[in-house]
Amino acid sequence: MAKDQQGLDVTGTSVSAIAVDRAIADYYAGKGDPVGILQAAAAQDGAFSLGHAATASLLLLGGFRGDHPAVVSALASARAVTHGTTSREKR
C-alpha cells in the first residue's frame, strides 16, 4: 500500500499516490488536468478506487450532474474495486 504526501494510505501503487498528490495540487492551483491525471492512473492501476471516487468528485465540483454518464461510470468503477481499500477510502 502506498502513501500520499500527507502520509495517508492509498490503495494502489506509488504511482497512484503520486497522481492523487498531483491532482490535488493542480486542482487547488487552478491549472493542469486533475481529472485526466486521476483517470490515467486509475486506468493503469486496477486497485485505485480513490482515483475513481476523486474523479467523480471533481466532475461534480466542475458542474456535472450526478446522473451524468462520466460521474455514474466513475462511481461504479470506485465501487467495483473496494476490496482491500482502507476505511478512509470507503467513506
Q: What tens digit of pLDDT does each residue of 18-76 get?
A: 999 999 999 999 999 999 999 999 999 989 999 999 999 999 999 999 999 999 999 99
91 Cβ contact list (under 8 Å, min separation 6): none
User: What is the per-residue pLDDT for 84?
Assistant: 81
pLDDT beyond 90 at 89? no
* Per-residue confidence band for 90, with pLDDT thresholds at 50, 70 and 90: confident
Closest CA to 17 of 52, 46, 50, 39: 50
Enter the pTM of the model.
0.90
